[in-house]
Amino acid sequence: MISLSAHSRGFLWLVCILAVSAYPTFAQKPGNTELTEAYKFLTAKYYDRAINLFHKGLALQPDNAPVHKDLAYTLLKTGENEEARDEFEKAVKLNGNDETAQLEYAFLCYETKKPIEARRVFDRLRKHGTPATRATAEQAFQNIDKPLAENIQRWQKALTLSANPNSLALYSAHWELATTAELRDELPLAAEQYEICRQLKPDRPELLLPLARVWQQLNRVDEARAALLAASRSDDSRTAESALADLGSRYPYPYEFEKAITLDPKNIKLREELAYLYLAMHKDAEAAREFQQVLVIAPKDQAARDQLDAMYGFKKRSAATPSAPAVNAREMGIKSLAAGFTKDAIKYLQQAHEQDPNDAEVMLKLGWAYNAAKDDADAVKWFDKARFADDPAIAAEAGKAFHNLNGDTVAQTTVWTLPLFSSRWHDAFTYGQVKRTIPLPWKEGNKLFSLYVSARFMGDIKSSMQQNEAIPQYFSENSLIFGMGISSKTWHHFTGWAEAGEAVGYLPSDNHDRIIPDYRGGINFAKGFGSLLGSHSSGLFYETTADADYINRFDKDWLFLSQNRFGRTFRIWDGTSAQALFNVNVTQDSKHQYWANTIEMGPGMKLRLPWMPPNVYLSTDFLRGVYTNNLYNPRRPNYYDLRVGLWYAMTK
């Protein structure tokens, strides 16, 4: 892996800390108070607090290059490599002579999947840096460049020797040559190969995106915009979304639509939108031509057929020279909003509302259009009107948007469940909760905490635990627990909560009441670093959760649980990701009961498949556990446990 040596990076960090220790009190200047406190927390190794204060100080002193650099090193300490990369980039832009920051930026670009930028920076530094910098940059550059050059030669040779011009292997070879050439900044070769890939597979709109990217770098601006425009009107939502983000907010001109159609002649959305644009410009003949081409490509396209019928029928009935047929404002408004053209969407939707003031969907779409245009004051007004619609779906969506923009806390339901099999107990357990948040009548109180009603289930199949033995929370309570509670808003990853209710046992028991009071509460901390499950890229990760829970029915005991996982996330293909990880779990309690004092370690795996709903994953862990307190322990002092579970969570 390309990186500064541990000794070099450690030395730089030591210099930073020594500078912090000797840092003088700032002169009175906006942001100095926050930065002074940030350096104090940095010296004390309270990195989260330091980072927060660095951000506040930099908001008032955005041109302070040394502080951007110090913030970047602090972010590295917390594992936030991408944020650190961005801060080094800001420091480099503000101080182009800081070669240390440039090197750090380049190394982090390579580590965070931006090899093109890394190669460019190393190339510049190996030619123009100081002798020490040149040596480091030269080695890093060659580590990136040499494999790319070898791969380009290999794929060019493979294409020369290819005997079957129609084979799938041919497309793969052109694609590999294109991507490798782009990584090595051989842009003409990359553009040539991406164009060949498009010719081989013209039905894949996502190929327009790299083509546009390379054309843009070659200053072929019109062609790049045409490719993005064609991609933005594709049926593939991911491709369209990415293209829209790069296309900008300006609405395309007709000639740009025509260039895009030349690139993607079978794109029905492109042709229809151009036809409607021609209608708005009173160019009937050009509009009719595009609608006719749509019917050639898709003879069953009813919208195009209806428009042609309306145009020709209107002209036959009118002896005088007619004006252009009226554009369907409602349809154009909804299409413009979906395409990201908010100004046009507002214009057409306003017309549609004037034509039908009772159309609730138009009101809802106007709310979203104004919201997208950063005009939340008008957006709230339209959501307010739409939330009283007769259509329940429109009313619900508008009501939720209205309350969110208005800063209101709304009632919501959270459901989670965890079915789990444990080989240690030869039993299957199920944990779950349904929680309904209750908004407080005063708005300020909702900013601090919320009330809720809850129903928990904690049970197992075998109920093998002895009735006269305390049953720990993470095994089975064999109860339905109904309660009311209060929880704080999450602050720096901490959440507090307290709950009171009744536990209803669903198993017969001679030793316990079936219904007993249940009081519980605690503090939770959760945070993750790196490429967590569901990330868009592979990479290392670390996540930790810590709980301090009071449970009255466990002899008024406090349980302290710490669960830690680290490993690597693999993004296998779209919608599928997996984690290979290692667990370290520690459990302690205030009563020193044997069952609540354990340490567990072992490997595990998580898996999320494309057909799974959001917030669902499979997990498997193989753990070696040890009781740290064996007083009154009827079992062996250590154990193995294979745990297989399915996690599901939903908020609505």
Per the listing, tokens 């919501």 go with 412
> How big is the chain, counted in residues?
652
DSSP label at residue 30: T
Domain ranges of the chain: 6-113, 330-406, 413-651
Please tell me whether residue 408 adopts helix, strand or coil conformation.
coil
Q: Which CATH superfamily is domain 6-113 in?
A: Tetratricopeptide repeat domain (1.25.40.10)
CATH fold group of domain 330-406 = 1.25.40
- pLDDT value at position 324? 42
Of 366, 331, 364, give the one whose Cα is nearest residue 350. Answer: 366
Residues 254-276 pLDDT 10s? 888 999 998 888 888 888 888 88
User: Cβ distance 365 to 334 under 8 Å?
Assistant: yes
- pLDDT value at position 559? 92
Residues 139-160 pLDDT 10s? 989 998 899 999 889 888 888 8
Per the listing, tokens 């749509």 go with 294
Q: Which CATH class is domain 413-651?
A: mainly beta
User: Cβ distance 477 to 457 under 8 Å?
Assistant: no
Residue type, 491: W
- Which percentage of the chain shows pLDDT scores above 90? 28
Per the listing, tokens 């959440």 go with 495
Distance in angstroms (rounded) separating the CA atoms of residues 358 and 364:
11
User: Cβ distance 599 to 585 under 8 Å?
Assistant: yes
Residues 60-118 pLDDT 10s? 999 999 999 999 999 988 888 899 999 999 999 999 889 889 999 999 998 888 888 98
User: Which residues of the chain register pLDDT less than 50?
Assistant: 1, 3-8, 11, 14-15, 17-27, 314-326, 464-474
Same fold, 6-113 and 330-406: yes
Of 354, 200, 557, give the one whose Cα is nearest residue 362. Answer: 354
List the beta strands (DSSP E) in 273-423.
Answer: 413-422
Spatial neighbors of 319 by CB under 8 A, at least 6 apart, are: none
